[in-house]
Amino acid sequence: MQETPVAAPIPAHERHLRELTAAREIAHAFLTARTPDEVYRLALERVAPVVGAAFGCVYLRESDDVLRLVAAWNWPTAYRRFLGEMRVRVGLGPTGSAVAEGRPVEVYDVFADPELADWWDAAGELGFASSVSLPIILAGQAEGALTFYFARTDPLDEADRSLLRLVADQLSATAEKAHLIEDLQRANVQLREQNVELEARFREAEEARRLKNEFLANVSHELRTPLTAILGFTYLLRERHAGPLTDEQAQSVERVETAAMQLMELIDDLLNMANLQLGRLDVRPETCDAVALARAAMSGLAPPAPEVEVRTLAPDAAVPVRTDPSQVVRILRNLVGNAFKFTPAGRVTVRVRVSSGSPWTPEARAGGDARHSIVWEVEDTGIGIDEADQERIFAQFLQIDGSATRRYGGTGMGLALSRQLARRLGGDVTVRSKRDVGSTFTLSLPAGFGPMLVP
């Protein structure tokens, strides 16, 4: 390639006018276009006449070593149908060299440069004698080139070079923004599609969960009928209504009755869980005594191991609370029953207290103050729970893996049901525990002198 001679400078005001015009046209292309390729096409159409080009084109990387034509302006009619097939290898010719080297490549007289002899036929057919290829920089890398072809062979002066550098820089910056916007739009489209798919899957999951709960509720209800009959006939046998029993027969009947009662409790839990999730569990609040509820829960349980001491710490006077007593007893029975089961030796303590202050003043009663809570705590010195597992135990049908599961058994449904029931009553069930030290489960409910707090 030949050295470019120095030409006479053009007036400063004309140079500035051309630069402003080029920048304006590129900005207009950016604001008008909807895609990066359209930015290139519109910018080329508007800028090429400003720089005095006969025709021009924009190439972008198709792969690491091949460039494809993405925009063209004013090409001879005979060649326009071939433009979509045009490819340029990176590193070859002025355009390929501009991309490979990341710098402008000027050819001010194709026919005067022996190194470009391979281009003479094409230049003669297309009608150009000189060209300028400017790299398009995207994200700091040369990803394409802007090439202008000129019919004249006049060398570029510094003003021309300044204008073309401005064009290349402006087009690179504008194109990069356009690519970013296109990427963002594409990401938005993908997100919308993913959201639609996720919503469809969520609806499917909700429907599947509803059907599962419907199934559990229906099955649980249907199981209660034959089980009630079993318990009824067991009662008749135990009370000798069908005749006397031997001691061995009486023990067998007692075992049948115990197993049937356990099965009935499991069915009740399943039914309550399903009805909770289907929104069918009715809350029937009434004013009752929190201490009496704790004692009722404990009286319906099988006693713990002989090595376990059981204590109840509660106020001497009644502790009024407005809630659904049957559900509170069910929750406390689950909590105390767990404490008995997971404490082979040691102590289980049940406490009843008011969270703070006294909600039973005349002012509190008159104002319906439900800010105070009634708290039942069930503390044991049993096997405890690792901190990482203390939330997992409230998941449905889950027990913590390991020897405790195999040794103690259970469906893993009691705590999940207890927490959901407590939240249905406007409170919660929480736990504090340490492995091999013990656990404290806390049921907290609003005192509830005002309307029942039901979420």
Note the pLDDT tens digit of each residue in 393-449.
887 655 554 444 445 555 567 788 889 889 888 899 999 999 989 999 999 998 874
pTM for the structure as a whole = 0.48
Identity of the highest mean pLDDT range in 34-48, 51-65, 352-366, 398-412: 51-65
Question: Predicted confidence band at 122 (pLDDT cuts at 50, 70, 90)?
Answer: confident
Q: Looking at the predicted structure, is the pLDDT value of residue 101 above 80?
A: yes
Q: Looking at the predicted structure, is the pLDDT value of residue 62 above 80?
A: yes
Give domain 201-277's CATH number out of 1.10.10.60, 3.40.50.720, 1.10.287.130, 3.40.50.2000. 1.10.287.130
Question: Predicted confidence band at 388 (pLDDT cuts at 50, 70, 90)?
Answer: confident
CATH T-level fold of 12-186? Beta-Lactamase (3.30.450)
* CATH number for the domain formed by residue range(s) 286-446: 3.30.565.10
pLDDT over 90 for what percent of the chain?
17
Q: Looking at the predicted structure, is the pLDDT value of residue 451 above 60?
A: no
Question: Predicted confidence band at 7 (pLDDT cuts at 50, 70, 90)?
Answer: very low
Q: Looking at the predicted structure, is the pLDDT value of residue 54 above 90?
A: no
Whole-Å CA distances, 286 to 53, 387, 425, 443, 448: 91, 36, 12, 18, 10
Q: Classify 87 as helix, strand or coil.
A: strand
Query: For 312-321, how does the pLDDT look when each residue is reduced to its tens digit (9 = 90+)?
Result: 999 888 889 9
Whether the CB-CB separation of 412 and 399 falls below 8 Å is answered with: yes
Please state the rounded mean pLDDT for residues 282-299.
90
Domain boundaries, the chain: 12-186, 201-277, 286-446
Query: For 197-225, how does the pLDDT look when each residue is reduced to its tens digit (9 = 90+)?
Result: 888 888 877 776 676 667 666 776 677 77
Tokens standing for 389? Answer: 């597992």
Q: Looking at the predicted structure, is the pLDDT value of residue 289 above 90?
A: yes
pLDDT for res 358? 45
DSSP 8-state assignment for residue 11: P
Identity of the highest mean pLDDT range in 34-48, 84-98, 194-208: 84-98
pLDDT for res 217? 67
CA atoms of 206 and 112, how far apart (whole Å): 77
Residue of 5, 17, 2 lying closest to 158 (CA atoms): 5
Residue of 247, 259, 332, 246 lying closest to 289 (CA atoms): 332
Average pLDDT along the chain? 78
Higher pLDDT, 125 or 328: 328
Q: Residue 308: how many CB atoms within 10 A of its CB?
A: 18
Whole-Å CA distances, 9 to 159, 161, 168, 322: 7, 11, 21, 95
Query: For 349-376, how does the pLDDT look when each residue is reduced to its tens digit (9 = 90+)?
Result: 999 998 764 444 444 444 444 457 899 9
End-to-end CA distance of the chain: 82
CA atoms of 244 and 429, how far apart (whole Å): 48
Q: Looking at the predicted structure, is the pLDDT value of residue 450 above 60?
A: no
What's at 239, amino acid-wise? E
CA atoms of 248 and 336, how far apart (whole Å): 32
CA atoms of 237 and 286, how far apart (whole Å): 38
**Range list of β-strands (E), 139-239:** 141-150
Lowest mean pLDDT among 47-51, 138-142, 237-241, 347-351: 47-51
Query: For 152-187, how does the pLDDT look when each residue is reduced to its tens digit (9 = 90+)?
Result: 887 776 777 777 777 777 777 776 777 777 777 788
- Using alpha carbons only, what angle is made at residue 176 by residues 196 and 37, rounded to the nearest 5 degrees? 75
